[in-house]
């Protein structure tokens, strides 16, 4: 990544004007609706719609904000040695599915458009734990699976982006899959 820009609040921060933020939000939303596999568009949408966080109100949340642990390939290596009937083993299997996922925890696009370093960490953490939800709920990375996970995230976080993704994903589903989503 390029060196820290003038006015940047953290290493990957890109300062934006209100108009630029509106353009990023709109463009990312439309782009992600038509191509949900574009992680960069989804990441930009999360960044521009992260309005506030009450994570600091909880003792565990305050510890997370203080320590700011990250979920990276290096610190999840142990998961690959665990039995697949454990959460860690299931997570490793989910991340390394040959031909299907093969995704590294280090490949997520960085948070860039959040104008507060603490909220930038919250956005990063939100994106890092996203795949945990897939494992916990047994949901794949299909449009149905992602829409279901975004609905859960909406209930858990209240993030506007999750509501938009749930609504957008619902429209992309066939009537049969839409009924399946609402019946589970």
Residue 180 pLDDT greater than 50, yes or no:
yes
What would the pLDDT profile of 67-111 be if each residue is shown by its tens digit? Answer: 999 999 888 899 999 999 999 999 998 888 655 656 788 888 888
Residue 16 pLDDT greater than 70, yes or no:
yes
Please state, rounded to an integer, the average pLDDT across all residues of the chain. Answer: 81
Residue 134 pLDDT greater than 80, yes or no:
yes
Stretch 129-155: mean pLDDT: 91
Of 53-57, 71-75, 94-98, 160-164, which has the strongest mean pLDDT?
71-75
For residue 136, what pLDDT is reported?
A: 94
For residue 21, what pLDDT is reported?
A: 75
The whole-angstrom distance between residue 115's C-alpha and the CA centroid of its chain comes to 18
Collapsed DSSP state (helix, strand, coil) of residue 44: helix
For residue 2, what pLDDT is reported?
A: 46
Cα gap 113→45, rounded to integer Å: 9
The token duo for 108 is 């997520």
Q: Which residues of 135-149 are buried (b: 16+ CB within 10 A; e: fewer)?
A: beeebbbebbbbbbb
Cβ contacts of 106 within 8 Å, gap of 6 or more:
72, 73
């Amino acid at each position: 990544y390029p060196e820290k820009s003038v006015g940047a609040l953290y290493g990957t921060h890109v300062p934006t004007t209100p108009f630029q933020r509106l353009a990023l939000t709109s463009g990312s939303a439309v782009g992600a609706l038509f191509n949900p596999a574009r992680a960069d568009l989804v990441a930009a949408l999360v960044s521009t719609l992260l309005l506030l966080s009450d994570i600091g109100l909880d003792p565990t949340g305050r510890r997370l904000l203080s320590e700011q642990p990250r979920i990276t390939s290096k610190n999840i290596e142990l998961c690959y040695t665990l039995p697949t009937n454990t959460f860690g083993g299931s997570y490793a299997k989910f991340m390394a599915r040959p031909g299907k996922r093969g995704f590294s925890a280090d490949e997520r696009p960085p948070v860039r458009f959040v104008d507060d370093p603490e909220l930038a960490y919250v956005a990063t953490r939100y994106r890092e734990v996203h795949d945990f939800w897939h494992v916990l709920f047994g949901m794949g990375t299909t449009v149905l699976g992602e829409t279901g996970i975004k609905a859960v995230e909406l209930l858990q976080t209240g993030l506007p982006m999750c509501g938009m993704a749930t609504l957008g994903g619902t429209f992309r589903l066939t009537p049969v899959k839409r009924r399946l989503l609402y019946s589970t």
